Structure 1
Amino acid sequence: MSTTIESPNYAYPARSKGRRGPNLEKAGWIFMRASGVVLVVLIFGHLAYNLLWTPGGIRAIDFGFVGGKLADPFWQWWDVTMLWLAILHGSNGMRTIVNDYVHKPKIRTVAIGAIGVAAAVLIILGTLITFTFDPCPTAADPALLPEFCASL
């Protein structure tokens, strides 16, 4: 006795042999694996520096610590790379969930568009903040600035 199992109703059927052009789903799948590995290295490097290699550990992390860290171009690029990969990794995962579970094309298009807009806004704002952060602005009221700004 044999039983036949019907093919599940996927939002996007399997790629046909006659289709031309890049396989974006495969590229997304590979990106998720590669970005996941790089994110593990970036996140553990971030945590190790902040919690283990900094004298005082977690108690040393304050506004001055973050301001000093973001003044170093190495850490700016480290944090921006971590931010970009985390947002792109997460938004690609959300796109995959939408493709798997949203079956109405119009709703799927709106949801994927909203994910893309949210990712773009977060990447732009995060990058802007990372590279323009100044803990001691020159035009600010000295009473409102942190203590370490007085020595500069």
Structure 2
Amino acid sequence: MMSTTIENPNYAYPARSKRGPSFEKAGWIFMRASGVVLVVLIFGHLAYNLIWTPGGISAIDFGFVGGKLADPFWRWWDVTMLWLAILHGSNGMRTIVNDYVHKPRIRQIALGAIAVAAAILILLGTLITFTFDPCPPTADPSLLPSFCADL
């Protein structure tokens, strides 16, 4: 009878002690916690935009978005949703790369690209959210939304 040796499926990573804090465990916990918070943020966002707003989806236009982003509560709500969604998705991509990319150099490049993309998206999204001005003072008044005349 011949015996067959099965290769260790965790060959890409060195064995670690099971005790103490672990980056993978923290990532696992983050995915669960951020998923729950994202569900609340997304459904709150949809409920406000589609149910509580008079006119529903047909009321969503540039003026609606400008008015919503003028309110600090909704600005922070949206930026928190953006940050969590990008971090949650990036952590998921990191897990996929760690599971399926076995060449260390390629894995390192892919993880670096994910981190850079996440950082750029968070930076640009935050910048846009907090610097958005629907009523720029130098713009042609005929091109501005109607609510800008009240300011």
> Normalized against structure 1, the TM-score is what?
0.89
* TM-fit CA distance, 1:8: 2.0
What corresponds to 1:75 in structure 2? 74
Structure 1: state its 5+ residue gaps: none
* TM-fit CA distance, 1:11: 2.5
What corresponds to 1:95 in structure 2? 94
Between Structure 1 and Structure 2, how many residues are aligned? 148
Q: Given that residues 76 and 130 in structure 1 are in contact (C-alpha distance below 8 angstroms), is that contact kept between their aligned partners in structure 2?
A: yes
Alignment of 1:21-100 (within 5 A): 22-100=21-99
3-state SS, counterpart of residue 91 of structure 2: helix
* TM-fit CA distance, 1:4: 7.8
Letter of the 1:26 counterpart: K
Q: Sequence identity of aligned pairs in percent?
A: 86
Aligned-CA RMSD value = 1.9
User: What do the CA deviations read for 1:11-35 (whole angstroms, capped 9, x no partner)?
Assistant: 2255335x8x731000000000000
Tell me how far apart the structure 1 counterparts of residues 5 and 143 of structure 2 sit (CA, whole Å).
69
Alignment of 1:100-111 (within 5 A): 100-111=99-110
Tell me how far apart the structure 2 counterparts of residues 51 and 130 of structure 1 sit (CA, whole Å).
20
User: What do the CA deviations read for 1:32-82 (whole angstroms, capped 9, x no partner)?
Assistant: 000000000000000001101111111111111100000000001100100
What corresponds to 2:16 in structure 1? 15
Tell me: CA distance 1:10–1:144, structure 2 relative to 1, closer, same or farther (3 Å): farther
Q: Given that residues 87 and 119 in structure 1 are in contact (C-alpha distance below 8 angstroms), is that contact kept between their aligned partners in structure 2?
A: yes
3-state SS, counterpart of residue 99 of structure 2: helix
Q: Given that residues 98 and 108 in structure 1 are in contact (C-alpha distance below 8 angstroms), is that contact kept between their aligned partners in structure 2?
A: yes
User: What do the CA deviations read for 1:60-111 (whole angstroms, capped 9, x no partner)?
Assistant: 1111110000000000110010000000000000000000000111111110
Q: Given that residues 43 and 82 in structure 1 are in contact (C-alpha distance below 8 angstroms), is that contact kept between their aligned partners in structure 2?
A: yes
3-state SS, counterpart of residue 70 of structure 2: coil
Tell me how far apart the structure 2 counterparts of residues 58 and 13 of structure 1 sit (CA, whole Å).
52
